[in-house]
Amino acid sequence: MRPILRLDHVSKSFVGVKALQNISFDLRPGEVHCLCGENGAGKSTLIKILSGAHQPDAGGDIYFEGEKVTLNPHLALDLGIQTIYQEHIVFDSLSVMENIFMGLEVAKKGFLDRREMRNQTVEVLRYLKSDLSPETIMGRLSSGQQKTVEIAKGLVFKRKVIILDEPTASYSAAEIDNLLEIIQAVKKSGIGIIYISHHLDEVFRVGDRVTVLRDGRKVSQYDIEGLSKTQLIKDMVGRDPSTFYQRESVPIGEVIFEARNVSGNGVRNISFQLHRGEVLGFAGMMGSGRSELMEVLFGSARLDAGEIWIKGRLVRHATPKASIKNKMCFITEDRQNTGLFLEQTIAQNVIVANLVNTRAFFASPGQDVEVADGFIRRLFIKAGNAKVRVLNLSGGNQQKVVLAKWFNTNGEVFIFDEPTRGIDVNSKQEIYQLMVSLLKQGKAIIMVSSEMPEVISMSDRVIVMKDGEMVGKIEKQDISEENILVHSIGGKAV
C-alpha cells in the first residue's frame, strides 16, 4: 500500500545539537505506527517536523501522498495532518461542539449553522462510541475525555493523519482502554496514526509497526506481530556507558535524611534513606510522581501520611520555610517559573532564600551584591556583576544562580529536580562538578532526572517510580539503562 506520509533521510539540528540524523519513516493509511525511545531520543522533534512546526535541514525530503511537500503548520492542517500534543490546548469555557469547530465554523449566510455542526458532532461521537454530549463544557471533562474530543475533531474534518504524543500520560486504566478502542475505530476509517508512548503495553496492544529512536537516530523498525518486549527495550537503550560523564566518587557517611511511608500529592508509601556524600537518583517516566514526591518532601505540597526524619530528628514540613530552616534546598525542574525572579538582579535572587535564616531586620543592598559577587566568582557565572538582571543570562548561568540561591542558605540536603534541563554541555559538566563539591562537604543529594546518562553517571543508588509508587531500588553495581527501563516500564510496587 502506498504510504500517506514519508520522510526520506531527514535530519534536524539546533544550535550545537543534532536532534535528528538521517531519519526515514513512513506511515500507511489505516495503520498505527508507534514511535519509541527514551526522553530526548528525538520523538518530539520528529513530530514537530511532521506538523510543520520545525523545518528539516537541507538534504531530507517529506512526501505527502507521493508528492514532495514543504510543511508549515497551516499546510500540514490543510493536507489533513493533525497533531494532538501532550498538553491540551483547549478552550475550557466552551462546549465540546464549539471546541471541535473552533476556527472552522460552519456558516450559512454569514450566521453560524449550529444545527449542522451539532449533527456532525453527534455523528462522530457516536462513531467513537463516546457518551459525551456536544453541549458539555470542555473544562468539566477529564483529560481523557478531552483527548477524545480532539480525536473527534480529526474525524469531523476528515484528517488523513493523526499524531498522538503521549496521549495516556496520567490516565486511569479505564481511560486508557477507552482511548485504545477509539484508536482502533479511527484506524478502520483509513486514517494513519502515529502513536508515541512510553508505555510499551499500549504499543503492543494498539500498534501495527514500531520505529525505535535513540539519540536522534533510527535504531530499528519492526512489525509488532512477533516482536518481543525484550528486543524493543534492548533497542531503546544500548548507549555506550563509557561516553557518560565520569563522576568522582566520594565516601558515603551516615544517614542524614529519611522518608518513612510518605504519601500525599499523588504519591503513595515511599520510604528511603539518604546518606551524607550520596546521590540518590530518582528515575521513571514523566508523570510517574517524582516531582510530586519532591514537593511533599520539601513541604510545598501536603504530607498526608508518613514521617520525614532529618539528622535523626522527626520534622514537620508544613511549609518550605520550615524545611529551609531544617537545611533543605529544592532546585525545581522549572527554573524560570518556580526558581528565579527573572526581572530581578542576580544579587536579589541569591539572597532571597537565606532571608529565612537571618535575624536582622535591616539589610544592605551593598552586602547583597558582595555575597552575590562571591558566588559569581565561585560558580563561574558569566555576568558582568551582581546587578545584572537574571533575565539576561543564558540557561546554564540562570541555573547557577538558582544553585547560588540555595548554596547561600548553607543547606545540607539538596533536592535537584532535572538539574541540567535545557542547558548546554559545558554548563552541564560544571553543574555536575558543583554537585560533587557538595558531596565532598558531607552534604547529600536527591536527584530527579529523566536523562538516563545523567542518572547513571551521577547516582550512587537509584529509585525507580511508576504511577506514584516506588517500583525499584537499584544499587550502584546494578545501575544500567536496561535495568532502570525494565523497572519503569513493567515494575510493580516494592
Partner 1 sequence: MSAGTPPEERNASAPSLFKQHENLTVTAIFAGFVVIIALLQLIITGGKYPTFLSPVNILNILQQVSVPGMVAVGMTMVMISGGIDLSVGMLASLVSIVTALGVSKWQLGTATSILLGIATAIVLETLMGFIISRVKVEPFIITLGGMITFQGIALLLCNSREVIMNGELDFIKTNLIAGAKDPVTGLNLIIPPYALVFFLIALLGGILLKFTKYGRRIYAVGNNSTAAFLAGINVKSMRLSVYASMGLLVGVAAVCLLSRINTGIITLGQNLEIDTIAMVVIGGTALKGGKGNVVGTLIGVFFLGSIGNAMNMLRLPSEVQFVAKGMVIVVAVSAGHVSSAISEFMSRHAEPTPAVETADAKGR
Per DSSP (E only), the strands in 15-106 are 17-27, 32-36, 61-64, 67-69, 81-84
User: Which range touches partner 1 (CB under 8 A), out of 25-33, 175-183, 238-246, 379-387?
Assistant: 379-387
Out of 103, 110, 226, 384, point to the residue binding partner 1 (CB under 8 A).
384
Q: Is residue 364 classed exposed, middle or buried when 0-12, 13-18 and 19+ CB atoms within 10 A define those classes?
A: exposed
Does 93 bind partner 1 (CB under 8 A)? Our answer is: no
How far apart CA 490 and CA 444 sit, in angstroms, is 29
C-beta closer to partner 1: residue 250 or 353:
353
Q: Is residue 312 classed exposed, middle or buried when 0-12, 13-18 and 19+ CB atoms within 10 A define those classes?
A: exposed
CB 286 within 8 A of CB 169: yes
Minimal distance, residue 439 CB to partner 1, in Å: 16
| Span 403-442, contacts to partner 1 by CB under 8 A | 405, 421-424, 426, 429-430, 433
CB 450 within 8 A of CB 418: yes
Out of 203, 280, 383, 438, point to the residue binding partner 1 (CB under 8 A).
383
Minimal distance, residue 344 CB to partner 1, in Å: 6
Out of 363, 370, 378, 476, point to the residue binding partner 1 (CB under 8 A).
363
Per DSSP (E only), the strands in 246-298 are 255-264, 267-275, 279-284
In terms of Cα–Cα distance, which of 105, 20, 88, 85 is closest to 57? 20
The alpha carbon of 110 is separated from its chain's Cα centroid by a whole number of angstroms, namely: 44
C-beta closer to partner 1: residue 324 or 413:
324
CB 387 within 8 A of CB 346: yes
User: Which range touches partner 1 (CB under 8 A), out of 306-314, 353-361, 438-446, 478-486?
Assistant: 353-361
Q: How many residues does the chain have?
A: 494
C-beta closer to partner 1: residue 39 or 133:
39
Out of 184, 344, 410, 441, point to the residue binding partner 1 (CB under 8 A).
344
C-beta closer to partner 1: residue 100 or 196:
196
**What does the per-residue mask of binding to partner 1 show for 266-305, with x meaning CB under 8 A?**
--------------------------------x-x-----
How far apart CA 17 and CA 317 sit, in angstroms, is 41
Out of 71, 303, 393, 456, point to the residue binding partner 1 (CB under 8 A).
393
User: Which range touches partner 1 (CB under 8 A), out of 117-125, 222-230, 234-242, 345-353?
Assistant: 345-353
User: Which range touches partner 1 (CB under 8 A), out of 15-23, 107-115, 183-191, 199-207?
Assistant: 15-23
Minimal distance, residue 425 CB to partner 1, in Å: 9
How far apart CA 195 and CA 209 sit, in angstroms, is 10
Question: Which residues are registered as beta bridge partners of 480?
Answer: none
Minimal distance, residue 207 CB to partner 1, in Å: 20
Out of 5, 176, 200, 340, point to the residue binding partner 1 (CB under 8 A).
340
Phi first, then psi, for residue 310 (nearest 5°) are -125, 125
**What does the per-residue mask of binding to partner 1 show for 159-198, with x meaning CB under 8 A?**
----------------------------------------
Q: CA separation (Å) from 189 to 124, 156, 185, 192, 224?
A: 12, 12, 7, 9, 21
How far apart CA 98 and CA 274 sit, in angstroms, is 52
CB 263 within 8 A of CB 305: yes
Minimal distance, residue 88 CB to partner 1, in Å: 17
Residues near partner 1, by CB under 8 A: 13-17, 19-20, 39-46, 216, 298, 300, 319-321, 324-325, 330, 332, 337-344, 348, 351-353, 355-356, 358, 360-365, 380, 382-385, 387-389, 392-395, 405, 421-424, 426, 429-430, 433, 450
